[in-house]
Every structure is written in C-alpha cells, then in structure tokens.
Structure 1
C-alpha cells in the first residue's frame, strides 16, 4: 500500500489537449529507465489505489493496467512529479519485462556513447555490455553474425552449444594450465548470455536472485 505524500487533486498537473501527461517508468533497484507511457487523472488514481502502474493507452483509447494479462506488473515503490508538473515518474519493482518485445526495458537499442567513456564502459561492465550487444543482434539480425546464426537456429541449437561449452569447461578444468579454462569459460559465458537473451531474461534478474540468496 502506498502512503500518499500529496493528494494529486492538490497538484496543478499540466495535462495536454488529450488530458494526458507522460509517465516515465524507472526500475527502483537498478535505476534503469524501463518505458514511457501516458496517464490521465483516472489512471493515476487507479495507480495509487492498486499500488501498480496503470496507464492510458492512446492506441486503444482505454485504461491499461500494466501486466493485467501478461503478468508483467510493475509494483510502485515511489511516485514523483517534475518541476513543471507535466511529467510523472514511477519508481517500480517490475515483475517481468516492461517492453512488449519481451525485453527488460523498451530502451535496449543504443544510439550513441561518449567516445572517451566507451572503452572504459566495455571493460568495467563487460558482461552487461556483451548482453546489450547480443540484444542488439537479436533485434537487427545482421548478416554474417554468429549471434544472428544462433538466434535463427533457435533454442535447440543454443542449448546444444551451452552443453558443448560446459563440457569443454570440464575438460579444461582437468588440464594443468589456467589459460584454457579461462578461454572455455568465456565461451560458456557468451553462450549463456545468448540463452538468457533468447528467453528474455536479463542478467540483472540473476544478480537479484544471488543477492536474495546472500541475504
């Protein structure tokens, strides 16, 4: 249940001509931007009552309870509104992917990155960088890409490769040198990330599970 800090009726929201204002949805834990939708007075009221995001669908022209059919609801942790009172920010704990494509976030296609930070980002957060790269391959399916080949072949091929690489890791572990084990482990990790992308599971969900186990 949400504690109401300020009644929406007391806020002079600047609704547009369709009586809507944009709503940005952000993951409360990861701080990732998940999606942008629209709310009207009724959907905002329902969001507060349910404790889950409720939007207004401009295409269907009706109230839309996020996840009502898919189960991918968004539990509201906090709600903010901006200085101009024309945009809402929902801080949520999502129960599943927020994007209709099955991706965790609607913003999974990167357009640009600051040059002097690009290489440092790749090195410091290489697993997340690689996963996002795999997602971009899944979306664009470029020719002459091994990742594209795996997605085209489907889940059975991906699982076969995960099995093969797992066996290679076991074999490498029996050898004396660490180099072979490092190489085979990298191969296994890559194919595991492809599998996660195929099943629409973000590595962040695994991090959360590990955190919960640690607790």
Structure 2
C-alpha cells in the first residue's frame, strides 16, 4: 500500500523550488535513478500513484508516460533536512533512457543480479524480431513453448546431477542456468520476478 508525504514539510526553497528524488526499487533495493521534483510533480505523484518529476528542460515529467516504463509509487520519505525524498517504486520497465534497469548501470545492481536478469528477459520479450534478423536465445525460448520447457527440465536434471556428485562449482553454474530458464518460463506464462518476491514475502508473515 502506498504511503503519502506531507509536502508542507519539505524545504523546496533550499533547492530553488526543487527537491532531490532518489528512486529505489521497492522489492530489490536497487537504486534506479536520481532526479528532481517540484511541488507540482510530487502532487501529481501522490494523486496518480505514478512517479512524476521535474525536468529543467521540459517541466513536469511523467516517468514512462511515453515509453510505458512507469514507476508505481509505494512510498515517499523525506530525509532529515527535508530537502531530499526517497521514492520506493515498482518499475514497469527500465528506469534509464538507454534501456537499462538503472541509470547507475552495474554498480547499483551488483547486489541484485536477479532484477537485472529479469529486466533483460522482459526487454527481449518486448523487442520484436524483424524479418531476416536472428533472434536471441532468450527470444527463441520465449517464442517456443516446447523448447523452453525442455530446457527447464534439462537444467533441473543437470543441477540434481551436480549435487549428487558434490560438485559445488558446477552446482552453482547449473543453479544459475536453472534460474535463468525458470525466469524465462515464468515471463512467458505472464509472471515476473516481482511475483516471486511477493509470494516469498507472504510466506514470511
């Protein structure tokens, strides 16, 4: 459930009408981007439930309004000086205009490679293959049900074999392969890593 912030407590004057917004994935903890917002942007955010920012070049900016990569607000929290806001969000796609999950590239995602992998799979699913273009392996799996289920089964068997052999290094590699193929199969079924996180979180209650 989203939580609101009393905008009257923010110090907009210190930043000439703006506050800094650090946007973080509510599930993975990955830092997605840093931007600015004025009071109007934050009002739009709280009213619509989707992140709005202030761009010095284009004014009010609805994140994902054009690309579809919106960010659903979970909470807004001010820092101790009331001139910066931490926004916890659920992103619908990449945060960066370059198509990457985070504007900070690998540094922000190093502790959560699963989110980066899931975002890459989602991007492959959204990218059409043009005539004459060779699809990526992920795109082949997404378009071929029999192939992805076959590979999912093969990877599970290979992991089990590595565990029987007590081969930790190979077991780690096979686990990575299995998780990749599982995420592809989940995405093809209409799910995502976020859904898995929610299931696991519900089991901790």
**What is the TM-score of this pair, normalised by structure 1?**
0.56
> How many residues are matched?
176
CA RMSD for the aligned pairs? 4.5
CA drift at 1:2: 5.9
- CA deviation profile, 1:98-152 (whole Å, cap 9, x unmatched): 23343333333239x9xxxxxxxxxxx8xx56x69989xxxxxxxxxxxxxxxxx
In structure 2, how many angstroms separate the alpha carbons of the residues matched to 1:133 and 1:77?
20
CA contact (8 A) 1:54 1:64 kept: yes
Shift of 1:205: 3.1
- Is 2:18 the partner of 1:32? no
**1:205 aligned residue:** 194
What does the per-residue CA deviation read over 1:162-185, in whole Å, with 9 as the maximum and x for residues that have no partner? 966854754786x7x822897766
DSSP 3-state at the match of 1:110: helix
2:54 counterpart SS class? strand
Cross-structure match for 2:128: none
CA contact (8 A) 1:161 1:191 kept: no
Distance 1:210 1:101, change over 3 A: farther
**Which whole-Å CA distance do the structure 2 matches of 1:37 and 1:91 have between them?**
13
Q: CA deviation at 1:204?
A: 4.7
Unmatched runs of 5 consecutive residues or more in structure 2: 119-134, 142-146
| 1:20 maps to which of 8, 18, 24 | 18
CA distance in 1, matches of 2:196, 2:152: 22
Q: Aligned-pair distance for 1:49?
A: 1.4
Give the secondary-structure state (helix, strand or coil) at the position aligned to 2:15. Answer: coil
- Cα deviation, 1:18-61, whole Å, max 9, x if unaligned, reads x3321011223333322111112221221121121101223x42
* Distance in 2, Cα, partners of 1:168 & 1:90: 38
Cross-structure match for 2:106:
109
When normalised by structure 2's length, the TM-score is 0.58
Long gaps (5+) in structure 1? 114-124, 136-152
Give the aligned partner of residue 136 of structure 2: 154
Helix, strand or coil at the partner of 1:109: helix
Pair member with larger Rg:
1
After superposition, the Cα gap between the structure-2 partners of 1:36 and 1:208, relative to the gap in structure 1 and judged at 3 Å, is same
Once residues 198 and 88 of structure 2 are traced to their aligned partners in structure 1, the CA distance between those partners, rounded to angstroms, is 20
Whether the 8 Å contact between 1:67 and 1:73 is mirrored in structure 2 is yes
Distance change >3 Å, CA 165–CA 34, structure 1 → 2? same
